[in-house]
Structure 1
């Protein structure tokens, strides 16, 4: 999730305009996020009713209003559509963004790298604090953390904000021309190596914002390459379209995978399971295309725009989003 939180802060900072007003910014963000969430919330509730799964009032209402990540109780952050917990964090980030941007803009360019280093270190300190101070009964399975510790490290919007602010700082560095050229190949290798390392460290250090250390260079490499107009596979029409659909795909894919696993997987062979997975991918792409085309895009055009494409700052948002699309499936962790 670190990639997306960092990318969110980066793109919002890159696209910010001097004449933006706070209510208008909040309106655009809610129009972008909430309609898709509401559609998938209703779809998830329908599937749960069909499956006779219990729906608790706390799960229902906290998820409906995107405040579920604030509740340190098992099954609440992921109680409805499991991936929507991250939207709870994003809503908090959006509400805080105008003030955060104002504060980061006051930091001189020479101090931004120091601030970035502090923000990269914070998630590691969060883990140390959780392990030392936050209590709770260890989760079964040998994870070495309690749910309360996991919530504090992974779900809690305040502790995840460091990644979002890091995105703001990185965008300021790029805008100031203070970022050295970073190749996509070494940045990608660092990211892959980081996730391989994740498999060999204590669980508490493999989740949450610690991944920012190896995904931040990938964000910088992708966005600076886009700013320079460097040729890249992620600038192709297909991947740009996938980038546009990536938010819808993120909300759709878990419901389809879990539904297929519940009702179809028990009746297929091992070979059929691979085909089922491919089918889920195709269905997720089709559903996300429909959600983007018929819900997200029309509402954003009508209620979430600035009022004209000519005012839009050219930059990395399209190809950065395209780069996020394949990572959405690979990171389907949330």
Structure 2
């Protein structure tokens, strides 16, 4: 494919040049989505409170995957801003954007919320009504309370952040479109600095009491973690960064950085995230390492470059990734309860149980996507034509040749 056009930031260009068009789908980014979901899954099956591994094996795997879930969620937030900006339509209205996003996430959310409630009842786990309602309406992350944020289907906290992003997106996009093209990198730098500053705010300006021994090195409070990781406006920095990078790619100002170097940067970033202070490793600061991967994946699809993420199987798994993300934590947590809540296993049996949880999660994800997510998104993403409004009639065939000339009436679309 040809290189995306460079758009000079001049009023003459805006008036005289038609806006460039870009492919609606970026299959490499779809394939990457499943890799990110797999990172979150790896975190949950190795995390001491939910995972299957114990002893020395558990310590090694838990250390290796300790930041995997955080890294995967960072990718999702950057990708969300990138994709929404990439696919934005010139004639969109805020209600149309909100409608499409609601029908994309709410069906899976409601089904897995009900499933979580049934599983909680099955194990005699209490369900506080107000926490269930907070989950239903995706506002649980606005409360700096660990039990509320992690209630019901625990992974749905990220949807609460996404809902905030979606509500802000029409305004954010208008603001972004007002930024001159030559200032886009400056805007990206400002957001990056804010992302690096936020952990310092959480570390030094928010109380570290009471401390939670199982978070980081035991020196942090939940409020400090919440301010960086769960608080929707804090996570919006990653979403906005994704938006800005989408515009940089669209305007042809992304540097010639191949997909392979971007993968190496993301891998190096994970190593760094595993060895820096906790608050720098779980959110915006860690997301900076993933930006080149998202941008390079889009460029590879745009220009037809080779991409290992564009294979048919991986893209199909990427299509299932949201459903997989929504069901896997329930499978891991309640599967572990079923076979023994306090049990942990060595490498081989632990891996066997992890693979079983993966397969079951994938099967449930396929069912959720096929019977809930995909059909409802197709049915409700756009409003139906009013039944009282007749469809446009086809023009009657002329009985004699019609010449288009002055005064000729031509049918409008």
| TM-score where L is the length of structure 1 | 0.88
- Contact 1:10 1:167 (8 Å CA) reproduced: yes
Residue aligning to 2:228: 153
Matched, 1:202 2:274: no
Cα distance in structure 1, aligned partners of 2:75 and 2:114: 27
- The Cα shift of 1:272 comes to 2.3
Q: Equivalences for 1:243-262 in 2 at 5 Å?
A: 243-262=318-337
- Contact 1:31 1:303 (8 Å CA) reproduced: yes
Matched, 1:111 2:188: no
Matched, 1:217 2:292: yes
Computing the radius of gyration from Cα coordinates, the structure with the larger value is: 2
Matched, 1:71 2:143: yes
The structure-2 alpha-carbon separation of the partners of 1:180 and 1:129, relative to structure 1 and needing over 3 Å to count, comes to: same
Residue aligning to 1:287: 364
Cα distance in structure 1, aligned partners of 2:219 and 2:300: 40
- Contact 1:68 1:77 (8 Å CA) reproduced: yes
Tell me how large the CA RMSD over aligned residues is: 1.6
- The Cα shift of 1:267 comes to 7.0
- Contact 2:323 2:365 (8 Å CA) reproduced: yes
Matched, 1:35 2:35: no
The structure-2 alpha-carbon separation of the partners of 1:276 and 1:18, relative to structure 1 and needing over 3 Å to count, comes to: same
- Contact 1:143 1:203 (8 Å CA) reproduced: no
Cα distance in structure 2, aligned partners of 1:269 and 1:195: 26
Deviation per residue, 1:48-75 (Å, 9 max, x gap): 1111112223321111110011011121
- The Cα shift of 1:305 comes to 4.5
Q: How many residues align?
A: 307
Deviation per residue, 1:127-185 (Å, 9 max, x gap): 11111211132212433211111110100000111110111101111111111122122
Residue aligning to 1:167: 242
Cα distance in structure 2, aligned partners of 1:157 and 1:150: 12
- The Cα shift of 1:306 comes to 8.3
Match of 2:173 among 101, 118, 126: 101
Q: Equivalences for 1:177-188 in 2 at 5 Å?
A: 177-188=252-263
Cα distance in structure 2, aligned partners of 1:57 and 1:267: 30
- Contact 1:150 1:204 (8 Å CA) reproduced: yes
The structure-2 alpha-carbon separation of the partners of 1:267 and 1:115, relative to structure 1 and needing over 3 Å to count, comes to: closer
Match of 1:138 among 211, 220, 225: 211
Cα distance in structure 2, aligned partners of 1:175 and 1:160: 24
- Contact 1:58 1:76 (8 Å CA) reproduced: no
The structure-2 alpha-carbon separation of the partners of 1:216 and 1:59, relative to structure 1 and needing over 3 Å to count, comes to: same
Cα distance in structure 1, aligned partners of 2:358 and 2:93: 39
Cα distance in structure 2, aligned partners of 1:96 and 1:79: 25
Cα distance in structure 1, aligned partners of 2:293 and 2:117: 36
- Contact 1:36 1:296 (8 Å CA) reproduced: yes
- Contact 1:120 1:212 (8 Å CA) reproduced: no
Residue aligning to 1:313: none
- The Cα shift of 1:5 comes to 0.6
2:135 counterpart SS class: helix
1:20 counterpart SS class: coil
Cα distance in structure 2, aligned partners of 1:74 and 1:106: 39
Cα distance in structure 2, aligned partners of 1:145 and 1:83: 22
- Contact 1:252 1:284 (8 Å CA) reproduced: yes
Cα distance in structure 2, aligned partners of 1:143 and 1:269: 25
Higher mean Cα deviation, 103-112 or 268-277? Answer: 268-277
The structure-2 alpha-carbon separation of the partners of 1:72 and 1:242, relative to structure 1 and needing over 3 Å to count, comes to: same
Matched, 1:2 2:74: yes
- The Cα shift of 1:39 comes to 0.3
The structure-2 alpha-carbon separation of the partners of 1:306 and 1:176, relative to structure 1 and needing over 3 Å to count, comes to: farther
Matched, 1:18 2:106: no
- Contact 2:323 2:366 (8 Å CA) reproduced: yes
Gaps of 5+ in 2: 1-72, 385-413
Gaps of 5+ in 1: 308-334
The structure-2 alpha-carbon separation of the partners of 1:197 and 1:17, relative to structure 1 and needing over 3 Å to count, comes to: same
